[in-house]
Structures are given as structure tokens and as C-alpha cells.
Structure 1
Amino acid sequence: MKINVEIDETLERLEVLIRAKEWDEDVNQLMNRLQEKRRSYFSGTNDETRHVFKPEEILYLYTEDKTVMARTEEGRYRMKERLYELEEELSKEQFVRLSKSAIANLDALHKFEASFNGTLCVYFRNGEKEYVSRRYVSDIKRKIEGKG
């Protein structure tokens, strides 16, 4: 892939041009990345205090008693959004669904262990663990191997 950047002071807004021989998977992935909605910051509450953190500070998101929680190195924070809403605003390259109730930051993962029932156990760098549902095992493997 060849990448060119052209600075033109006469432009009033950013313009992106993709040139390709045909519409293929690479073009499709580029389009998806360019169109992704991403937030620069998230906020959650711990006791009565609202904390602000960047997406890359999130180790994982999970549901607990019908409440979405964000786990960072600093603590656990109650989020106001639903899990699927947060998933839509996170980088698909950096975050992966573990189960119906958990999403993980790939940068926070330490190791995997296969479980007897076909699931994976994921260990985070901070020592905590979550289980990957069978439904999401292939997606995680694909992302870790750099194929998706």
C-alpha cells in the first residue's frame, strides 16, 4: 500500500481520497476505519465522584448486576452507557468482545488458558481474569493473529 499526504492551505476541511484498482477487502477496511465513531474520553463514577479516562486506559468493560462497569488500573467505574453502545465507540482493532457481558482491551491481555468446556480464560496484565464464550473464541484468535 502506498500512502501520500498532501498539505494544502487552501482546503477548508480534511479530504481523503482512496485510489484502488477495485473495491476489495483492503478498501472496505479502510472505509470502515475512517467512518468509525470514536470517543477521545469516557467517564464513569466511583462512589459519588466522576472520573474521566481515555479508551486505552480501559482494561475491560463488563456487566455486573445490570450495570456496565469499566475496569482501569486505577479502579472500577460505573458507566451510564450500555455495553453495546460503548463497543460501537471503541476501536475494533484494540477492543474485542469476550462474551455477551464483557469487552477487553487487547493491549491489557497477558495470557490465555483453554477451559475444559471449549471456552478460553483470559488473564489481564493486572492479574484479573475473564472467560471468553465459545461464540467469541475465533474472533479473538483472529484479532491476536492479526487477521481481523
Structure 2
Amino acid sequence: MKVRVEIDNELTDKEIVIKTPHYDAQVAALYQSVQKSFGQHQPLVFYKGASEYYLDLSEILFFETDGRQVLAHTSHDQYVIHHRLYELEELLTGRFARISKSAIINLDQIYALTHSLSSTVVRFQNSPKRVYVSRRYYKALKDRLERRR
């Protein structure tokens, strides 16, 4: 991989371009790393009733689907968000992880994982809310939590 810096006095803002013959896991990781480093993500707007809310992502416990809507849960409230889960999964890298086909969780908000023969439940501190981890995503979640220690 080559790394190059070009100075262009005509530019008004910094620009990073990744040139590659094909998109692979290494390019995806590099792209996500650059986005995370510079905080480049579109601001998320949350809705409740007729009001729009701009919440800090650290307040979000998890996102889940309910019918055709995607809900963002905080410790004592829930909001509608006009993104699909797969879009949120791409936007929210780092501290968020997919735990089922219908949920994405904030790893910083996990208080406890309760594993039984039939399911794994995630509990949150200072909140009665709980969410289930599917068997398919359990190992990836466990690995991410181990790496964060």
C-alpha cells in the first residue's frame, strides 16, 4: 500500500481519497478508521411525536426494529429514527455492534450479559430495558467485549 500527501492550494477543505483496484475488508477497515478519526458521520435526528431531537449517541442503549420503524432506546425513553438498521450499522462503527437481525447495541452501555441454554440477555445499568442477543451474533459480541477490556 502506498501513502501519499498532495498539497493543493486551491482546496478549501481537506480531502482524503482511497484509490483501490477492489473493495475488500482492508479498505473497509481503513475507510471506517478515517471516518471515526475525523468524526465524519451525518448527524442523527430522532423523532418523538411532532418534535425532532438531537441526542448524544452515548445516551443510546440500543436500536431495534418494530414493524417498519426503527426505534432508538435511551434509559427511560424511545425515539423513532428514519434510518434502516443496515444504514445505522455502517454509520455507527466502533462502539455499536449488531446483536440480532433486529437490534444494534451500544457496547458502552452494557451492564450485564446473562447467558442461558435458550438465550442471552443484555441488561443496562439504570434502566429496566433488556434486549436479546441471537446465537448467530453472540460470539462476535463476546469477542468485541473481550477486546475492549
TM-score (norm 2): 0.72
1:143 aligned partner? 144
CA deviations on 1:29-70 (whole Å, 9 max, x unpaired) are 555411568526311111111111122221100011221000
Distance 2:44 2:124 in 1: 21
Tell me, yes or no, if the aligned pair for 1:58 and 1:105 is still in contact at 8 Å: yes
Inter-partner Cα distance in structure 1 for 2:76 and 2:99: 22
Cα separation, 1, equivalents of 2:67 and 2:15: 45
Aligned residue identity for 1:120: T
Q: Which runs of 5+ in 2 are unaligned?
A: 1-8, 17-24
* Contact 2:35-2:41 within 8 A present in 1 as well: no
For 2:83 and 2:75, the matched residues in 1 are separated by: 20
Closer, same or farther in 2 for the Cα pair 1:88/1:31, shift >3 Å? Answer: closer
Contact kept, 8 Å, 2:47 with 2:81, in 1: the verdict is yes
Alpha-carbon distance in structure 1 between the residues aligned to 2:40 and 2:58: 12
Q: Which residue of 2 aligns with 1:113?
A: 114
SS at structure 1 position matched to 2:61? strand
Quote the residue 1:5 is aligned against. Answer: none
Aligned equivalent of 1:124:
124
Extract structure 1 runs of 4+ deviating beyond 3 A.
Answer: 10-16, 25-32, 35-38
Cα distance, 1:86 vs structure 2: 1.2
Aligned Cα root-mean-square deviation (Å): 2.8
Please give the alpha-carbon distance, in whole angstroms, between the structure 1 residues aligned to 2:70 and 2:28: 31
Paired residues for 1:1-148 under 5 Å: 14=14, 29=29, 32-35=32-35, 38-39=40-41, 41-73=43-75, 75-91=77-93, 93-117=94-118, 119-125=119-125, 126-146=127-147
Residue pair 1:40, 1:54 contacting (<8 A) in 2 also: no
Q: Gapped runs of 5+ residues in structure 1?
A: 1-9, 17-24
How far apart are the structure 2 equivalents of 1:144 and 1:84? 21
Q: Which has the higher strand share?
A: 1
CA distance in 2 between counterparts of 1:88 and 1:101 reads 15
Same amino acid, percent of matched pairs:
33
